[in-house]
Structures are given as C-alpha cells and as structure tokens.
C-alpha cells in the first residue's frame, strides 16, 4: 500500500495531477447542482406566489 | 422534409430537448463512473511502470484525455455557435454556452497535469514553446468566450458576439495539434495517430483509450446537465416548465 502511494518517488506529481482533477470535476458537478437547485426554488416560489394571487 | 427529419427536428424544441437530455444524463453518468473506475484501476495499479520514466508516466492517463477534450470541446463549441448564429437555433446557442466551462476546465487540467509531468521529465514546470503556449491560448479563448457572453446583457447579442469569437478562435486548434511538427519543441510528438500503430505498449494504449472515453462520457453528461439548467433559466416562465416541475424535485 505504501509502495502504491509512493508512486516510485513521484507521488507529489502523480497524486497532484489525479487529485486536482478529481477535485475540480467534483466542484464542477456541485456548482451545477447548486445552480439547478436555486433556480428550481425560484420557479417554485414564483408558482406559489401566482397561486396566492389567483386565490385573492 | 422526410418524416424522419421531422422527428429529429422535434428535439430542437425546448421541452423535448429538456426531456430527452433528462433521460440520457443518467446513462452517461453511469458510463462515466464505470469507465473511470476501470481506467483508474488499470492506469494506477495494473499497468507496469515505464522503463525510462518510472511511475511519473502515469500522468499520461489524465494528461492526454484532458488535452484532447479541451481541443475537441472547443471545435464542438464553435460548431454549435455557428449553427446558432446562422440558423438561429436556440438549443445550439445553449449547447455552445454550456460546453465552454467544461472545455475550459479540461484545458486547465491539461496544462496542470502537463506542468506536473514536465517537472520530473524535463526539469521544468513550464516552457514557452509552441505546444504549451498554444494550449494556454486555448484556455484564454475559452475564458474570453465566457467573459464576452457574461459582459453583454442582451442575450441574443451576447450569443452572436461570442459565437464569432468561438469561430475565429477555432484556427488555434490545428495549430495546437501540428505545433509539435511545425516548430522545435520540448513536447514530444503524437504517440497515437490515425494512420500508424500507437508507439506504446498495448495495455497502456487500451487504458488510455478507456480514460479518453470516460472523459467523453463525463463531458456529455455535464454539458447536457448544464444545458438543461441554462434552458430552464431562459424559459422559467413558460408553461412547459411549470408542468414539469410538478412531478420533479430539484
């Protein structure tokens, strides 16, 4: 296991590449999910307001 | 137009595109996870180390896919931008805009992994040679496209102006590709070409192709997901949006 993590002495380069890539892909997906959630909430809020207006 | 043509045309209508993309995304996401799983295992565990570069060569399994995606996605973005500009197809405009962030991300990762690979093999993180500089220019083209889109308030004008930028910038892609032939550069030539057998061991080649496919699947899933959000933002007051939100949760 330690040998695997050491990457033949190139650990900072190899893991620095793989982990940064993994991290950025996760950030991209989370940012997208956040954007979608807030938009959905906005649309629902508007729909509720419209429904209240119609009741009056 | 044949009936089949009409069928395909249906998917350029916003509501149909939204539904189709929604059905496709889970499949591409599943393929992404499976291919990255297999590819990472093969690349980091199964494939032997390189006799010259030791384990540092393993960066190739993400450096090449990210660099290819950065270039492919730029061409794809320019094609969609051109379609949107010429035929005024809204979905094409949305696709072009949705590709840009993912393309920029992959281009950045290609530069980042290249720097981390260059240090142990060449002794430097960065040199101003043709391949590296043209790749940096690609990143700036993506960022410029996104900035231009964001800077113009009128949606149609933003789309038109940035489409022109995307199309002009496409000349940079063949420059990147051929830079290693045209100029003396530190960067090695292509190991994989269409015309010749790859100059690397079979296991390495297969692993690399799996990682390339994984990057494609990821890109398709994320771009479609972003295009859906983009579409919802534009059409948030439309009737079909309200209809779909009844059944669906964020």
Among B residues 25-44, those touching chain A with beta carbons less than 8 Å apart: 40, 44
Measured in angstroms, the CA of B163 and the nearest CA of chain A are apart by 23
| For range B156-176, the mean pLDDT | 95
Structural domain includes residue A7: no
* Closest in A10, A24, A44 to B54, CB measured: A10
ipTM (interface pTM): 0.92
Check CB contact under 8 Å for A46 and B236.
yes
The larger pLDDT score, comparing residue B242 to residue B213, is at: B213
pLDDT digits (tens, 9 = 90+) for B31-89: 999 999 999 999 999 998 888 888 999 999 999 999 999 999 999 999 999 999 999 99
Is A48 within the bounds of a domain? yes
Q: Residue A47's pLDDT is what?
A: 83
Mean predicted lDDT score pLDDT of chain B: 90
A10 with B225: Cβ contact below 8 A: no
Using a CB–CB cutoff of 8 Å, tell me whether B49 touches chain A. Answer: yes
DSSP A1-41: -HHHHHGGGTHHHHHHHHHHHHHHHHHHHHHHHHHHHHHHH
Confidence of residue B168 (pLDDT cuts 50, 70, 90): very high
Domain tally for chain A? 1
Residue with tokens 């009737």: B239
- Inspect the interface and report whether the beta carbons of B245 and A37 lie closer than 8 Å: no
**Parent domain of A44:** 12-55
> For residue B1, what pLDDT is reported?
43
For residue B7, the model assigns a pLDDT of: 52
* pLDDT tens per residue, range B172-202: 999 999 888 888 777 887 777 766 767 778 8
């Amino acid at each position: 296991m330690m040998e695997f993590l050491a990457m033949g002495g190139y650990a900072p380069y190899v893991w620095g590449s793989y982990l940064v890539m993994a991290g950025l892909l996760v950030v991209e997906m989370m940012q997208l999910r956040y954007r979608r959630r807030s938009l959905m909430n906005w649309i629902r809020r508007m729909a509720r307001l419209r429904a209240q207006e119609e009741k009056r | 137009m044949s009936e089949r043509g009409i069928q395909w045309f249906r998917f350029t209508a916003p509501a149909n595109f939204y539904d189709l993309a929604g059905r496709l995304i889970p499949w591409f996401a599943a393929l992404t996870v499976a291919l990255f799983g297999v590819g990472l295992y093969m690349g980091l565990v199964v494939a032997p180390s390189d006799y010259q570069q030791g384990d540092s060569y393993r960066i190739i399994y993400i450096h090449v896919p990210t660099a290819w995606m950065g270039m492919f996605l730029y061409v794809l973005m320019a094609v969609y931008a051109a379609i949107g500009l010429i035929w005024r197809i809204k979905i094409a405009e949305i696709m072009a805009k949705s590709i840009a962030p993912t393309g920029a991300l992959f281009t950045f990762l290609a530069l980042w992994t290249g720097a981390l690979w260059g240090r142990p093999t060449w002794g430097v993180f960065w040199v101003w040679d043709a391949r590296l500089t043209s790749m940096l220019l690609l990143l700036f083209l993506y960022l410029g496209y996104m900035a231009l889109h964001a800077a113009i308030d009128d949606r149609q004008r933003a789309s038109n102006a940035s489409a022109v930028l995307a199309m002009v910038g496409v000349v940079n892609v063949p420059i990147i590709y051929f830079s290693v032939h045209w100029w003396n550069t530190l960067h090695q030539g292509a190991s994989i070409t269409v015309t010749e057998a790859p100059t690397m061991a079979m296991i390495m080649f297969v692993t690399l192709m799996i990682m390339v496919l994984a990057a494609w699947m990821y890109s398709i899933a994320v771009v479609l997901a972003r295009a859906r959000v983009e579409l919802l933002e534009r059409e948030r007051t439309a009737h079909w949006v309200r209809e779909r939100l009844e059944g669906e949760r964020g």
